[in-house]
Every structure is written in C-alpha cells, then in structure tokens.
Amino acid sequence: MQAKTNRRPRRLPSYSAVTSTLALIFALAAFCVGGAMATGVLVTSKQIKNGSILTQDIHKNAVTDKSIGSNAVTSTDIKNDAVGAEDIGAGQVDSEAIGTGQVSSSDIGNGQVTPQDVTMPGPEQIKDSDVAKLAPASLAFQRLDEVGSYTKEDPDSALQVEWTGSVDGHNEGEASGCVFQLRVDGQPPQGGGGEVFGLGVVSIADSALFSGLGSGPHAIEIWARLAQFEPTPMGGPNANSCTVGPAAAGISQTIVVSELVI
C-alpha cells in the first residue's frame, strides 16, 4: 500500500507579471543600445555603406575641424564651387595655406584686389654724384648717363621713377638749351612725365611711370638732346653740350624707384 504525498498545485505566472518583466527587458535593451550608440560602439564606419549618410543627415555644426583627421579631406573630396567665401572664416586662409602658383589672375574677380591689398617692395634710392656730359649734342636723343640699376620683384607691377638733381643745357652760339629724359633700359616713359628742359644750370624734380617691364634688373638712365640746333661761331666739338650733375650746381642726381600696382 503506497503512502500518499501532499503536492501543492503549480501556479503559473500571471499576465501582469509577464508583461512587466518583458517591459523591463525591453527597457534595459533600449538603454544598452542607446548607450552603445551614444558612445560610438554599436555603429562603426565599417557598418555604414558608402554614400548612405548624406548632408541632410548631419546637423549643422555637428562636424568640426576636431572631428576630421589631418589630411583626411583633400581637394578631390570637395566639388568645384562647393566652398564659397562665406564658408571660410576671417583669417583662416593665409599665404602659407596656398601653394606656389595655385592662385592666378583668372581666379580673382575684377575689383577684388586693390592696391591697398598688395604689399610691394619699399622704395629704393640711387645716388649718382658724377658729372656726365654729352658733347657734341644733337637733335636726336642719346644716352647721357646710367644712374644705376634697379631689380624689379613683381613682373606685373609698374615702376615709378622720381628724379631730382641738376642739369645744364649749353650752346656756344644762339642758346637753345637741352631736353633731358628719364628712361629705363633705353625705353622712354609711358603717358608723359620724366622729361625736363634745361637752359644753363637748373635744378630739376620730375617723375615718370614705366609699365610692361618684367622682373629682374633694369638700367635707370638719363638721355638728352638739343632743344634745337644752331650753328656756333666757334665751331668747336663741345660747342653744343648737355650735362647732368654740373659741378657748379653741387646737387647729386638722386633717383627713387618704387613698384606700383596700377
């Protein structure tokens, strides 16, 4: 005869208990997923297909320069005209950020660069205390004196040449005087200027502008000719003469050369 055992009936979990347990599980899972996404662990770049993240998926200012590795973005990653002036902060691009020869005149709009925006070499002064004499002088211009040389740095700039000194236009017959002219490499100035008249010893101050000269050394010269030709009674070889820096005046020829953007 078997003994009777007392067994308590098995109780199944209630509906509410199951529901609350599932809710807790889902909440913990969401917390873990959200935390993983917030820390960048769950989703990596390897799990994102190329082109799946677009510009509209990124909040404004969400990507800063600290988020981008050095040299991670090159010119090939940027479409033409994608970066405008409004995308670049003041002072962000300086001369060191631009490669040699990368910017040409075709890259700059008309009127975008003014003379005030360009730094040019400082003026250079040339002094010549020698006396130079052209005798006999004629009605044709001849080179009278090479005052000095100037080395031009900018191939697109113009040279402004300022001249102060003294000259002497002398004739033994009827006085006509001489015309003196500034030149660079034998070329007269453009647009007038740089030409003075001397009858007897006079002090002068004049300037001229020379354009179309390339970079490199250029000779600064003074040329002269007779204002008009008159036969001289004496007929000597030095009867008609043009002189710069006459000793009687005691004034050296001083040339100041500047490069200008025009």
Work out the burial of residue 159: count CB atoms within 10 Å of its CB; fewer than 13 is exposed, 13-18 middle, 19 or more buried. Answer: buried
Complete domains list, the chain, with CATH? 124-260 (2.60.120)
261 vs 248, which has greater pLDDT?
261
Which amino acid, one-letter code, is at 229? F
The C-alpha atoms of residue 155 and residue 35 are separated, in whole angstroms, by 62
Give tens-digit pLDDT for 79-109.
777 777 777 877 677 767 777 667 766 677 6
Q: pLDDT tier at 186 (50, 70, 90 boundaries)?
A: very high
DSSP-derived secondary structure letter, 65: G
Query: Which token pair is 47?
Result: 């799990």
The C-alpha atoms of residue 45 and residue 121 are separated, in whole angstroms, by 52
Other beta carbons within 10 angstroms of residue 246's beta carbon come to 20
Give tens-digit pLDDT for 131-161.
999 988 888 999 999 999 999 999 999 999 9
Q: How much is the pTM?
A: 0.56
Give tens-digit pLDDT for 46-77.
777 776 777 777 777 777 777 777 777 777 77
